[in-house]
A and B are shown apart, each in its own frame.
Chain A
């Protein structure tokens, strides 16, 4: 049971992180290079999951996932399952929930790039996207890594959203935070202690690796 929840949490965070990096990369690249009037609006929307209570995201997603709505209805028609109570639904929810944690480190890294290098590449005939993949990305390794680690960790720490759209199905949507909540609710404090201790150790390890990574980069730069 415990291993089931642990494995599911890791899988959810892994899939979410991979998809999120793919989605966040072009968005962060565009945000870092544009002067478009839409930029602050997109930036604000991207940062909103940082500020919104998870219950707000959970509540709206619950309505969005419902078969009564176009998205939920289309999903049900295509897959034969509802988007709520499914692993796929949780991935989508987690991507929204962790979006700023992927976009912002990437955007910062891209903004810190030396414009001269990119302009030189441009004058040698590299297009906008070529410059992203052959120059910007390799130079922003640390930003990519930070984005990946933070997205993964933030998804692991997800609770409110999953509580509202998950339906607590073992092996499908019952992640570690939900398992801990249920252990406490059913007075099984021993199990809650074990899972909670794992989470404490895990979060320390993650944050430590982010800070160690940043320090190394600072030392190298300085």
Chain B
């Protein structure tokens, strides 16, 4: 069959001869070095929900500068990360997009109750690139939604993403529950669907408009935006949890505390989130 020909076998005989060469010995040496890297002292491995990943990357660099512990950031969806941690993935700290999964990890005995804390609350933005009229009141947005075809509003999947659940609640609160939205797997995909023009409008995270720490949105998108009032949906509480695996890792414990400290809090707020313990 031709399909197998597409991935041709490497020339093993040549590789075998090469194995005796100095180059190979050097490669083995390099590989040993690489293998030794992850066990370097003071490393922190952070798994973070995609929506907070850019912010966490920046926070990790700041933490490294301030405290000198290297931080590795792994991004993924909260559901996948949860499943990976259950299967023994080597993460010290998990920043979830919701409160439910960190709570489950505590129930599962993979983290202590006192090691779970909210770090941010997500803000929802209704965004369209098509409409240039101002969207200022819920009435404006409601009227605009009524003009759209079905399947032209993108939201994150409500079954998997807290931002999607919040979007459904907002649609209901606006009296537009009949709008049949298209679902991205997460709020990142919802953003892409609007940005690429596949959806006329969408509910996205306010933090997605930030690329660096700024007090104002740095790349104002074309079209119109409406910052959804927080009372139209249940809070999008994002919790983090320090995993049991990190009980010997003082750097991970320091990061967990540091993320709740004043410096990180201002940074998180500057990235378009609201803060726990603050209206």
Contact = CB atoms under 8 A, between A and B. Distances in A.
Contacts of A181: 185
Contacts of A68: 196-197
Interface in B142-162: 149, 151-152, 154, 157, 159-160
Contacts of B135: none
B151 A82 contact: yes
Interface of B: prevailing SS? mixed
A45 to B, nearest CB: 13
Interface string B82-105: 110000000000000000000010
Residues of A in contact with B, size category: 35 or more
B1 A167 contact: no
Contacts of A169: 151, 182-183
A101 B4 CA distance: 11
B197 A66 contact: yes
B2 A185 contact: no
A201 interface: no
Interface in B197-226: 197-198
Given A184-B80, A185-B77, A185-B80, A108 B183 contact: no
A63 B192 CA distance: 10
Contacts of A101: 3
Nearest to A68: B197
Interface of A: 47, 50-51, 62-63, 65-69, 72, 80-82, 84-85, 100-101, 104-105, 107-108, 146, 150, 163-165, 167-169, 181-182, 184-187, 214
Given A84-B198, A185-B160, A214-B1, 9 more contacts: A62-B198, A67-B198, A72-B197, A85-B151, A169-B182, A185-B80, A186-B159, A187-B79, A187-B104
24 contacts: A50-B6, A62-B192, A62-B193, A63-B196, A66-B197, A68-B196, A69-B197, A82-B198, A84-B193, A85-B198, A107-B2, A150-B3, A164-B189, A167-B184, A167-B193, A168-B182, A169-B182, A182-B157, A182-B160, A182-B185, A184-B79, A185-B77, A185-B160, A187-B79
| Ranked 7 nearest A-B pairs via Cβ | A185-B79, A167-B182, A68-B197, A66-B197, A104-B2, A185-B160, A84-B198
